[in-house]
C-alpha cells in the first residue's frame, strides 16, 4: 500500500508499505478519504509542538478485524477518531476529555493519509469507531471531525440560541463553525475572511454577513453597527494569526466570550490590554479537538439534513499526490477543503 508521511519540516514523502495487521481488539480499514487540516499544514511548516503523524479526518471501509471486536463488521462505512482520552484521570472526571494527558498520545497507524489504516485497541474500546449513515457521502464524512471540533467549542463556551457570533477566519473549520452556529439558532453571524471564495461559501452556509478584513477597524465597525454598539455575544478566532486574536479581544460585548479556536503559532503572544479585558468581563476560552459524543451528534445532524455540508470539498488527490494536496490546501483563494482519497472512495 501507499502511505504519506511527514519526512521533516517542509518535506512530505510517499512510501510503499505492507498493509497493517490487526491485533486482538484492533481493526483495519481501507481509506476512502481524509481531509487536509490546518494543523497538518502547521506540522509541515514545523510550527506545531506535537508534530508527528499526519491525517486525522479519515473515513473508509472496514476490511479486517482482529478477535474480540463486538459491534463492528467487515464492510462497515466508518469514521475513526484518532485520539481518545483515558476516561479515568482527574481531567477526564471533570469532563475536559480533550485535555486528558493521554489523549494526544493515542493515534491511528500509520496515519490518515494511508491506503489502509490500523485502529489500535484503545481507540476501538473507547468508542472511536463511528459508523457513517448511508445518507452521508465520503466527502461530507471527511468533515465530521472538524465539524465536531466546532460543536465541542460551542458547548464549551456555553453557546445559546439567539447569540450573536463573529468568526475571524473562514477556512474550513471557520466555515463549519459558522454553519453549525447557524443550524443551532444564532441570531446573527459575521464572518471575516480575505478569500472571496470562502466568503461566498460562508454565506451559502448561513453566515449573515461577511467582510474582507483589510483593516481591523472595518470588522469592528460592522460589529458595532449590527449590535447597537454592544459587541457580539461570542467572538471566534478560527485562525492562529496573532493580529486576528488581538482583534477578537475587542469584539465581545461586556460579559461576552472570546473562543480561541484556531492554533496560534508556537511562541506567539497576546497583545491585548488585559485590564480592559478584565473590566469588560470577557471570558477567554481556548478549545481543542473533540469528543466521541460530539462526533455522534454531528453525524446525526448531517444525516437528518439539519446540518448541510455539501460542496465544501473542492479538490481531491490520491495518496501519491499528497504534496499537491498540501500545496492546494495552502491556497485559500483557490480551495476550500482538500481531501486525499484512497481505494474505497468509489465504493
User: Does the structure show a pLDDT above 80 at 52?
Assistant: no
The CATH architecture of the domain made up of 158-286 is 3-Layer(aba) Sandwich (3.40)
Beta bridge partners of 62: 29
- H/E element holding 108? none
The position carrying cell 473549520 is 173
**pLDDT tens column, 59-80:** 999 999 998 888 899 999 999 9
Query: How large a percentage of the chain has pLDDT more than 70?
Result: 99
Cβ burial of 225 (10 Å; 0-12, 13-18, 19+) is: exposed
The model carries a pTM of 0.96
Residue 215 is predicted with a pLDDT of 84
**pLDDT tens column, 89-114:** 999 999 999 999 999 999 999 999 99
Read off the pLDDT band of 311 (50, 70, 90).
very high
Is 2-147+289-346's fold the same as 158-286's?
A: no
Quickly list DSSP for 270-329: --S-HHHHHHHT-EEEE-----HHHHHHHHHHHHHTSS--TT-EEEEEEGGGHHHHHHHH
Residue boundaries of the structural domains of the chain: 2-147+289-346, 158-286
Are 224 and 198 contacting, i.e. CB atoms less than 8 angstroms apart? no
**Mutual angle of helices 172-183 and 144-156, in 10-degree steps:** 60
Bond preceding residue 155 cis, omega within 30 of 0: no
Q: Take residue 229 and report the three cell numbers written for it.
A: 454598539
The residue with greater pLDDT, 272 or 198, is 198
Domain 2-147+289-346 of CATH type 3.90.180.10: yes
Amino acid at each position: 500500500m501507499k502511505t504519506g508521511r511527514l519526512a521533516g519540516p517542509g518535506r512530505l514523502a510517499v512510501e510503499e508499505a505492507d498493509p497493517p495487521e490487526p491485533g486482538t481488539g484492533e481493526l483495519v480499514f481501507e481509506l476512502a478519504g481524509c481531509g487536509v487540516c490546518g494543523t497538518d499544514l502547521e506540522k509541515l511548516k514545523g510550527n506545531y509542538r506535537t508534530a508527528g503523524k499526519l491525517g486525522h479526518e479519515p473515513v473508509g471501509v472496514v476490511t479486517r478485524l482482529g478477535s474480540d471486536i463486538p459491534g463492528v463488521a467487515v464492510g462497515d462505512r466508518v469514521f475513526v477518531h484518532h485520539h481518545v482520552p483515558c476516561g479515568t484521570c482527574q481531567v477526564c472526571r471533570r469532563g475536559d476529555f480533550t485535555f486528558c494527558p493521554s489523549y494526544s498520545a493515542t493515534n491511528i497507524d500509520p496515519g490518515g493519509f494511508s491506503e489502509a489504516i490500523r485502529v489500535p485497541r484503545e481507540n476501538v474500546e473507547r468508542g472511536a469507531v463511528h459508523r457513517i449513515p448511508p445518507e452521508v457521502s465520503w466527502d461530507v464524512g471527511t468533515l465530521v471531525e472538524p465539524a465536531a471540533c466546532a460543536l465541542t467549542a460551542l458547548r464549551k463556551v456555553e453557546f445559546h440560541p439567539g447569540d450573536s457570533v463573529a468568526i475571524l477566519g473562514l477556512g474550513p473549520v471557520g466555515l463549519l463553525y459558522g454553519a453549525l452556529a447557524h443550524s443551532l439558532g444564532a441570531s446573527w453571524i459575521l464572518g471575516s475572511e480575505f478569500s472571496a471564495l470562502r466568503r461566498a461559501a460562508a454565506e451559502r452556509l448561513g453566515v449573515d454577513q461577511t467582510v474582507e478584513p483589510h483593516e481591523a477597524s472595518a470588522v469592528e465597525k460592522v460589529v458595532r453597527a449590527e449590535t447597537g454598539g454592544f459587541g457580539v455575544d461570542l467572538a471566534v478566532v478560527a485562525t492562529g494569526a496573532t493580529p486576528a486574536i488581538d482583534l477578537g479581544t475587542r469584539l465581545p460585548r461586556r460579559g461576552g466570550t472570546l473562543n480561541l479556536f484556531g492554533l496560534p503559532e508556537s511562541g506567539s503572544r497576546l497583545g491585548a490590554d488585559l485590564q480592559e479585558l478584565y473590566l469588560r468581563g470577557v471570558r477567554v476560552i481556548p478549545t481543542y479537538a473533540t469528543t466521541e459524543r460530539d462526533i455522534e451528534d454531528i453525524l446525526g445532524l448531517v444525516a437528518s439534513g439539519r446540518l448541510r455540508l455539501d460542496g465544501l470539498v473542492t479538490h481531491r488527490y490520491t495518496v501519491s499526490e499528497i504534496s499537491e494536496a498540501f500545496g492546494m490546501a495552502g491556497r485559500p483563494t483557490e480551495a476550500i477543503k482538500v481531501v486525499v482519497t484512497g481505494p474505497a472512495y468509489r465504493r
